[in-house]
A and B are shown apart, each in its own frame.
Chain A
Amino acid sequence: MPERRIAQVLLETDKLATAPERRVSQVVLEVDKLASAPQRRVSQVLLEVDLDQEAVPTVVRQVGQVLLEVDFETLRTPQVDQVLLEVDFEAILSPQVTQAGAEIESAAAASRRVTLTGAEIESAAAASRRVTLTGTEVEIQDRRQRQASFLGLEVEIEPAAKEPLFAALRAVPTHQTSALLVAHIWKPEVGPPYKPRGRYLDTVPLVESYEHTLSADGGFTSASFSFRCSLSDVDEWLDDGLGRHVEIYDDALQLVWEGFVNQVRATAAGLAVSRGPLADIANRVVVAYREVELLGINPPGMSDEVSLTPPLDNVESQARYGIIGKVVQANQVTADEALNLAAHYLQQYAFPATAKELSLGDRGQELSLTVECLGYYHWLGFYYYSFTEALPQTRPASEKLALILDADPNGIFSSANAEIEENTLEVQAYEEYGRTAKELVQKILELGGPGPDYARYLLRVGPGRRVYYYRQPLDIVYRQYLSDPLQRVQTIAGLEVRPWAVQPAVWLQIPDLLVGRVRPGTVLERDPRVLFVESVTYSAPYNLRVSSSPPNAVARIFAQQARSSMNL
């Protein structure tokens, strides 16, 4: 423990107005003759405080002894009227005078001053020429507070299943980076909420083969890629590859495609093994049925009402892959038979299927993996939306879409992570019979917007699973010239768009088609030189297929006229 000392003591007397402050390491007040000696002056004061030096400091300190000696040798008057002893307690660790003895006039707690009158000095000094204050008369209390407003730990944890630091080198060769796509792969955290980017696993250069499809309705639709690998890679991908999150980037670090692994196929030494597809898994099963009424009817009749069994869950499968729901349609069964069907369906489809084909005699193939992926739009097909209240009977299409997204039990989709443009077309609010969110979204898309223009609306699931629902744009974004030997797609400003970066849901113009034969001012939908890009399929390295569709407002009008008889 630190030694606690007084670093400053100041003695003031009313006789010595000009006496300077002194830092005192010793206080000596010597009195030659108290009463008879003329012209006495206090020249030095020493205050010695003997603090308890305990191993562990306590709150209250006892001053062992305060010794005050006054040197009256040079006093001009025979009696000191008053001695004011001022102690700078700041220099003591944490002092506070809380009690004073008889010789100490003030409590000193406030003033931090000890005042002795001359008479007391005189009387005390008469015998000993010393004024001694014993320790019990002075207490010094530690008044300094330690204050803490926050405590916490940071703990560094090495994941139990971490990869070895010096894993096999899979760096991208520098000479290939300018034309190479790479796939970044994560193991999702299933949640809920489902977090696709749970734990980063690997980066795979896509040098063998790669293909993806993007669609105006859906966004990232599908992708597949193959790569050579080791036997341990085959084991790992077959065992744990389904559901992995995949992002494809180009050499400019732009996201090309995003989705999840739906199926894995491996070929090794004549054996072809596939696992999946993930979309065939069912770990929450409901059976929709029309109940057979057995009693009192011969032959048995069938109820008009569709009944649903309670959902049956396989939590082990859900913890591994997320919640994947299926509604199994069954007609003319009893309630018990429906429940039995649900249990068997769950048992059979809770985990992915594995298919094997052995082809011996041929020359063994190299080990390779083909990873087939789907965009997260397909997760809309993994859950069901219902609204069984009487009111409202209808609601705007965009409002219903938001509710459908918020019903996702996995938390992949939500209206908070969506940009939904208002569509005031009123659609039926009631939903009961277990149609998937994907089916309902497709119905909403088929309806389009209200008259008189019956505009088409598009929905795509973009990067970060963000959902975009918006009216079909009417701007030309791309151009392609039939006369271009390189068959490049360009922006309207003339910049080349690399084939893997071409997007759907935009208008593409072929300026050198029917030159001079299209009347100026022709509306976009009727211009034969313009096509709406419905989907694009890119195959590495430079192949691109663009599909288009003609405008079809009539189909939307029919759909809206028929919706009163449908469930929308």
Chain B
Amino acid sequence: MSRILMCGFEAGSLAVLSGYGGVSISTTQARSGSRSLYVSTGGGFGMLPLATSASELYLRVGIRPPIGGGEAIVFELRNSSNSNMLQVGRRATGILYYIIPGRTTINGTNLLPGDQWFCVQVYLNIASSGGRLIAYVDATQDVNYTGNTQATTPANVAYLVLGAGMAPLYFDDIAVNDTTGSINNSWPGRGGIYAVRPSGAGAYTDWSVSGASANWDAVDEVPPSTTDYVYTAEAGKIDTYQASDLSTVGSISAVRYYAYAQLNEAGEAGIKPIYYINNTAYEGTAIALEPSWRYTSEIVQTSPATGNAWTVSEINAMQLGVKSW
């Protein structure tokens, strides 16, 4: 693994979270793309699990704090036992503070006025001695701490909890890298997360459609509507769709594929993501479906066609799809 979490809330649904309360998806504020997570009430939170727990990681969180709002927690990192490993909050004076529970509290030096977006990046290496906590607000270093960064055991981070204190508050462009692999193994950078979704018929139309006149039209809603969907009872069937273009240029760090899907009854069957590039359907990882609607997803860091970083032109020319197994 390298990129172990990525979420821009562009799917438009809280179902991308593993747990939440007092939050909603905002379409009026977004650091990039067109959506963000809105924490409307104090204590409201949204929880995102990491694909794999890590003791050394790099985190990026886009936050839009309120004007005023007093002193409160903004986000937390929790371990696999759901214990806090790092809490990041904003004081009434507008600076951030970083708490490693039971170990230390460090004040940042940057002002974060309300009602504007900031990119907070954190490097955390959990160790009882020689651990590191480095944070940046936008391009400016906020803290640089060396010491005991191990709040408790297990010494890992497994969950990111957005909110849990301050409100109203917006989050966007979440990314977490661990230090494995050859790419995405350091600072995520100050990029943003944008959506690509079906916009027309693709090369394959093997699946049937219910509730819509065309297959692509059944799977393009944001947030998803289950009144229309595509389906197949057969394995090995492929559906692909033309997809919207990215309007932003730049280098692509990673891509996350989402499908909101289910089985109509319990059993062992599922889907594979399809990336149709240059007339070839590249299959993603097989994903088992459950007999209830939920998001399935995978993070793809490089193009399956080239093995290199994705490019904007490649994604703009690509068809999205799904294959049954």
Chain A residues in the interface with B (C-beta under 8 A)? 1-2, 56-59, 90, 93-94, 142-160, 162-167, 169-174, 177, 182, 184, 197, 200, 203, 247, 249, 251, 253-255
Contact = CB atoms under 8 A, between A and B. Distances in A.
Nearest to A180: B111
15 contacts: A94-B267, A94-B269, A146-B324, A148-B260, A153-B243, A154-B194, A156-B188, A157-B248, A160-B251, A165-B189, A170-B140, A171-B142, A253-B67, A253-B68, A253-B114
A551 to B, nearest CB: 35
B140 A171 contact: yes
Contact of A93 (B93, B191, B268, B271): B268
B315 interface: yes
Contacts of A154: 6-8, 10-11, 33, 193-196, 255-256, 258
A177 B69 CA distance: 18
Nearest to B228: A149
B185 to A, nearest CB: 15
A166 B186 CA distance: 13
A145 B232 contact: yes
B110 A148 contact: no
Interface string B285-318: 0000100010000000000000000101001000
A155 B196 contact: yes
Nearest to B16: A154
A144 B233 contact: yes
B86 to A, nearest CB: 20
Interface stretch (B36-44, B77-85, B217-225): B217-225
A152 B250 CA distance: 20
A160 to B, nearest CB: 5
B109 A59 contact: no
B254 interface: yes
A184 B116 contact: yes
A160 B263 contact: no
Contacts of A156: 6, 8, 173, 175, 188, 191-194, 252-255
B258 A147 contact: no
Interface in B75-131: 93-95, 107, 109-114, 116-118, 121
A172 B110 contact: yes
Given A154-B194, A155-B252, A249-B113, A149 B293 contact: yes
B111 A203 contact: yes
A90 B121 CA distance: 50
B81 to A, nearest CB: 29
Interface of B: 6-8, 10-11, 32-33, 67-68, 93-95, 107, 109-114, 116-118, 121, 136, 138-142, 173, 175, 187-198, 207, 218-226, 228-236, 239, 241, 243, 246, 248-271, 289, 293, 310, 312, 315, 320-322, 324-325
Contacts of A157: 32, 191-194, 246, 248-253, 312
Q: Which 3 A-B pairs have the closest CB atoms?
A: A150-B224, A150-B260, A167-B139
Contact of B197 (A58, A93, A153): A153
A200 B310 contact: no
A182 B251 contact: no
Given A146-B263, A155-B196, 19 more contacts: A142-B234, A145-B231, A148-B261, A151-B198, A153-B196, A153-B243, A153-B258, A153-B315, A154-B6, A154-B33, A157-B249, A158-B190, A159-B248, A159-B249, A165-B187, A166-B139, A171-B142, A200-B117, A249-B111
B313 to A, nearest CB: 12
A402 B173 CA distance: 37
Given A145-B231, A146-B270, A162-B190, A184 B113 contact: yes
A560 B316 CA distance: 60
Nearest to B267: A144
Nearest to B31: A200
Contacts of A253: 67-68, 94, 111-114
A160 B250 contact: yes
B111 to A, nearest CB: 6
Nearest to B9: A154
Contacts of B254: 156
A504 to B, nearest CB: 21
A497 B94 CA distance: 20
A145 B198 CA distance: 21
Contacts of A174: 107, 109
Given A142-B235, A157-B312, A151 B293 contact: no
Contact of A146 (B93, B260, B269): B269
Nearest to A197: B116
Contact of A147 (B93, B193, B264, B310): B264
B315 A149 contact: no
A8 to B, nearest CB: 14
Contact of A152 (B111, B195, B263): B195
A147 B190 contact: no
Nearest to B186: A165
B195 A162 contact: no
A166 B134 CA distance: 12
Given A200-B117, A253-B111, A144 B258 contact: no
A251 B93 contact: yes
Contact of B264 (A2, A145, A173, A200): A145
A4 B233 CA distance: 16
B30 to A, nearest CB: 12
B251 A149 contact: no
A301 B187 CA distance: 74
A150 B11 CA distance: 9
Contacts of A57: 235-236, 325
A149 B226 contact: yes
A162 B11 CA distance: 26
Contacts of B220: 150-152
B244 to A, nearest CB: 9
A177 B250 contact: no
Contact of B218 (A149, A172, A255): A149
Contacts of A173: 109
A143 B234 CA distance: 8
Given A144-B267, A153-B197, A158 B191 contact: yes
B229 A148 contact: yes
Contact of A143 (B93, B136, B193, B233): B233
Contacts of B258: 150-154
A144 B111 contact: no
Contacts of B110: 171-172, 203
Given A174-B109, A177-B93, A146 B255 contact: no
A191 B93 CA distance: 35
B253 A158 contact: yes
A165 B187 CA distance: 9
Nearest to B10: A154
Given A165-B139, A171-B142, A145 B187 contact: no
**Considering residues B94, B107, B219, B266, which has the most beta carbons from chain A within 10 angstroms of its beta carbon?**
B94
Nearest to A4: B268
A80 B299 CA distance: 60
B140 A169 contact: yes
